Amino acid sequence: MIQTFKLTIEYDGTGFYGWQRQPEKATIQGELEKVLSRILDQPVTLAGSGRTDAGVHALGQVASFHADTSLSPRVLQKGVNRLMKHPIVLKECHRVSHTFHAQYSALSKQYNYFILNRELPCAVGRNYAWHVHRSLDLDVMNRCCALICGTHDFKSFENAGSPRHSTVRTVFMARMDRQDHDRLVFSICASGFLKNMVRNMVGTLVDAGLGKVTPAGFQHILSAKNRSRAGVTAPARGLFLKQVNYE
């Protein structure tokens, strides 16, 4: 019996070459497909909601696949988590309609980016945040976040190497919050994202927080549609795919 499964996956991207399967390299998709193929005794090809780059983490990545099996979602979930030898956890597994596709059925995605904002770096947890040692102005950064919201051409925040039919996206929410006295988190929810879009935004927001870019200057960067005008690409280690939203 052909069934379609929807998976919700958590992983630590440290040491992986990203989500997408690559020959001779450790990837999230590749490791999951190996384990699922072993359990189901048939080739399994996952469709992910989108790619995450090398070093990027996920709390709620979503993937889907079809398989000829009578196994229940619960048995599959337990089997994957028992056999998986990498920091990858199958948080949920459900049967869904055959028309469901993890990428094409998605309505929006939410990412979080974490910044450690203090003079001293950390020893524990350094793979999960960008250390910025100079003090950041949260108010200025949020004034820039307000400019991101809405439907815009985000070409200024797209890295080369991933051509798109359009660089226009809709951002439903973008804000910078203080978790505690020395930790910030950037949250963004959008209809879709360009290559390195979140990390390039964070690099530019940090410039704003350091006084290198004003909100007016940030608006000019957004309007320029020119990647060279924006800030550096923030390190992958601070980025988490929080969740993917469906109807």
What is the Cα–Cα distance from 36 to 69, expressed in whole angstroms? Answer: 12
Element (H, E) at 25: none
User: Do strands 150-153 and 168-180 pair parallel, antiparallel, or not at all (unpaired)?
Assistant: antiparallel
Nearest to 148, CA basis, from 55, 218, 64: 218
- Tell me, yes or no, if 53 is annotated catalytic: yes
What is the Cα–Cα distance from 231 to 216, expressed in whole angstroms? Answer: 15
What is the Cα–Cα distance from 202 to 195, expressed in whole angstroms? Answer: 13
What is the Cα–Cα distance from 9 to 32, expressed in whole angstroms? Answer: 10
C-alpha dihedral sign at 207, 212, 216, 222: negative
Of 12, 41, 53, 68, which one is the catalytic site residue?
53
Nearest to 15, CA basis, from 30, 4, 26: 26
Element (H, E) at 74: helix 73-83
Q: Look up residue 134 and give its two tokens.
A: 């100079």
Q: Is 215 helix (H, G, I), strand (E, B) or coil?
A: helix
Query: Which residues are catalytic, by number?
Result: 53
